[in-house]
Chains A and B, each alone.
Chain A
Amino acid sequence: MTELNKLTIAQARDALKAGETTSTALTESCLAAIDAADALNAFVHKTPELALEQAKAADARIAAGDAPALCGIPLGIKDLFCTKGVPSQAASNILEGFKPEYESTVSQNLFDAGAVMLGKLNMDEFAMGSSNETSCYGNAVNPWRRGNDDTALTPGGSSGGSASAVSADLCLGATGTDTGGSIRQPAAFTGITGIKPTYGRCSRWGIIAFASSLDQAGPMTKDVRDSAIMLQAMCSHDPKDSTSVDFPVPDFEAALTGDIRGKTIGIPKEYRLDGMPEEIDQLWTRGKEMLADAGAKVVDISLPHTKYALPAYYVIAPAEASSNLARYDGVRYGHRAKLAAGDGITEMYEKTRAEGFGHEVQRRVMVGTYVLSAGFYDAYYNRARKVRALIKKDFDDAFAAGVDAILTPATPSAAFGLGEMAEADPVQMYLNDVFTVTVNLAGLPGISVPAGVDKRGLPLGLQLIGRPWEEGDLLNTAYVLERAAGFVSKPAKWW
């Protein structure tokens, strides 16, 4: 057998069931890999004692013949999820020392399914970023490099630690969250698979809020089958989240038939950007051919409001963030600034938030405050919500015309170097999410599948966008794409 930490979830599950290994052995293998990978800065709070305790319990369940879907599978959890008694600080200094007294619904669902938690994963502060460079823990690093060039590359963001950890085989799978592309962009940058389900599939309860109408949790895994298995365990109806839907969760793994004959795949013309690298365009063309070869009908479609998705997002997301992050005031949890003689409560708020929030978070909170302020609410916030309705209608029209899934590139480039965007203005960084953000605004499921490498050997991803609530069908199309692309490259170990 290969090294245990390199197994997929499905392989490990089958090996556990067959008695060929134990959860304890799997967990020890991952813990050793994590300790040897500090250079990636992916795991920022390690929980080895808890992991070994959970592994022991999983082994007992397997021995007793009571093994749920993820029994004994070691996972990493993004720092955005509140995990009981374990630091959960959204990569922000303002939540320094915060140890939740409760468990997020998604992580609880994973534990109920028998999963083992190896630790908490690095991310952009409050999930605001596309390169993991806004983290209070420092940058997470991509295990991939440009050939022999040892420039440190970004794993993407905001779920950069999750992407780096899965790509480097530090865990079998990881949780991510996606507000504008934070699962799909890092998955594409690191050669792994990541799916954001339909808004409402996963409970948001216990996930530290960024932009509540856009945030969704999802799995980041080594292949499509693993995403199906892990997503199944994460989804549930939850009375504690009023936007969580009370729909049955279908068997996503059973949907992976590999048969997409007769399906209609839409190619939106607005996703062809000026100045897009040739390699991305070629990959997109190959993706179309692969799906056509598998028997799907490929049609050109138009999503006319695509261009306005990013500007609408950069009104709506900061507006919601400014409201959500108002709770960090130095009173109930986390950091409180040291006060000078005579300072009152206003000084306490202002100093605490100036010290606790990083630059990007401060900027977004203030932009959100501005667009919601008296006199600008209609001009910015309400207008953006109207444009959002038009963006959703574009997708509704395409689906009504018979399209089953939409194929696009996942990102406008391969992973870039850490620090390379430091001189760029904030809008340049925001353009990373140009292909993914529409999906959050419309609440749709979207998946990124690794489909090739660029000329320097870096992975590139394709995105498939599905009909609402049809994650099973979407995963099946992704499965066909994955098999046709045959992407098996792994980063050469340098860490």
Chain B
Amino acid sequence: MSIDKATAAKVAKLARIKVEEDALPALAEEFNTILGFIEQLNEVDVEGVEPMTSVTPMRLKRREDVVTEGGQQDKILANAPDAREGFFAVPKVVE
């Protein structure tokens, strides 16, 4: 599997990371090195093996569906780059 410039651009778009046009060939090259390394996994016989979901088999704990630490609007907004009138503010999303 070889990654070309167009695929690198698509991945950058999916990851929401702006990559300049002239940086794409080097990025594609790096992906190919890493994916080449990962290709070794194809040598392993994984027939009938379940993908691991948890290193320690355990049932997730349950709790009552109630508010535990609510009512902290000020604290939640305290680190926002732009917060107005009790909300996070962002550029226009819908025309």
Q: What are the residues of chain B within 8 A of A345 when measuring CB–CB?
A: 90-93
Q: Is there a chain A Cβ closer than 8 Å to B67's Cβ?
A: no
Contact A335 B81 (CB under 8 A): yes
Among the listed stretches A146-154, A159-167, A262-270, A309-317, which one makes contact with chain B, having 4 or more residues with CB under 8 Å of it?
A: A309-317
A314 to B12, CA, bound (A): 18
Q: Is there a chain A Cβ closer than 8 Å to B65's Cβ?
A: no
Q: What are the residues of chain B within 8 A of A231 when measuring CB–CB?
A: none
Contact B34 A426 (CB under 8 A): yes
Could you tell me which residues of chain B, from 47 to 76, have a CB within 8 Å of some CB in chain A? 49-56, 58, 60-61, 63, 72, 75-76
Contact of A348 with B91 at beta-carbon distance under 8 Å, contacts A213-B55, A330-B81 already known: yes
Q: What are the residues of chain B within 8 A of A367 when measuring CB–CB?
A: 31, 34-35
Measured between C-beta atoms, what is the minimum distance from A64 to chain B in Å? 31
A350 to B12, CA, bound (A): 9
Q: Is there a chain B Cβ closer than 8 Å to A46's Cβ?
A: no
Contact A366 B11 (CB under 8 A): yes
A101 to B56, CA, bound (A): 31
Q: What are the residues of chain B within 8 A of A389 when measuring CB–CB?
A: 49-52
Q: Is there a chain B Cβ closer than 8 Å to A346's Cβ?
A: yes
A433 to B95, CA, bound (A): 49
A371 to B42, CA, bound (A): 14
Measured between C-beta atoms, what is the minimum distance from A19 to chain B in Å? 41
Q: Is there a chain B Cβ closer than 8 Å to A401's Cβ?
A: no
Measured between C-beta atoms, what is the minimum distance from A30 to chain B in Å? 29
Q: What are the residues of chain A within 8 A of B16 when measuring CB–CB?
A: 326, 329, 346, 349-350, 353
Q: Give a binary string over B1-26; 1 marks a CB under 8 Å from any A CB, 0 the rest.
A: 00100001001101111110000000
Q: Which residue of A lies closest to B38 (CB)?
A: A311
Q: What are the residues of chain B within 8 A of A314 when measuring CB–CB?
A: 34, 37-38
Contact of A366 with B31 at beta-carbon distance under 8 Å, contacts A98-B79, A389-B49 already known: yes
Contact A246 B61 (CB under 8 A): yes
Q: Is there a chain B Cβ closer than 8 Å to A369's Cβ?
A: yes
Among the listed stretches A1-9, A112-120, A379-387, which one makes contact with chain B, having 4 or more residues with CB under 8 Å of it?
A: A379-387
> Residues of A at under 8 Å CB distance from B?
97-102, 198-200, 213, 239, 242-243, 245-246, 305, 307-308, 310-312, 314-315, 322, 326, 329-336, 339, 343-351, 353-354, 357, 362-363, 365-367, 369-371, 373, 380, 382-390, 392, 425-427, 430, 442-443, 468
State the 9 A-B residue pairs at the shortest beta-carbon distance, nearest first: A443-B55, A385-B51, A336-B81, A333-B79, A350-B18, A386-B46, A354-B18, A101-B75, A389-B52
